[in-house]
Amino acid sequence: MGLLSGLLLLPLAPVRGAAWVAGQVADAAEKETCDPAPVLARITALHRALDEGEIDQDEFERQEEDLLIELRRRQRAMARPPTDRAGRL
């Protein structure tokens, strides 16, 4: 960027900065929602609760099915190319 274009575009710097921050927040949120680790930890805790008698078999199966559906959703989201997830190249 040349000196003249830098000076002419200076009033837009806050907008560009805000757009960059918004993009960084969106990328971090996307990574967090696609990460399977929290779901796997909840499945492990669910197994532990069943083993310790805190929940019965029916409750275990209901919650496990919900978590497996969530895990499959996250795996599909991770399999998509980044351009599909973020809507940009």
Find out whether 83 and 30 touch, Cβ atoms under 8 Å: no
Q: What is the pLDDT of residue 77?
A: 78
User: Per-residue pLDDT tens for 4-33?
Assistant: 787 777 787 788 888 888 888 877 777 777
- Are 46 and 67 a contacting pair, CB within 8 Å? yes
User: Which tens digit of pLDDT belongs to each residue from 45-72?
Assistant: 999 999 999 999 999 999 999 999 988 8
The residue to which tokens 């900065």 are assigned: 17
Give the residue extent of every domain in the chain.
36-79
Model pLDDT for residues 32-44, shown as the tens digit of each residue: 777 788 889 999 9
Note the pTM of the prediction, 2 decimals.
Answer: 0.54
Residue 65: its pLDDT value, please? 95
User: What is the CA 25 to chain-centroid distance, rounded?
Assistant: 11
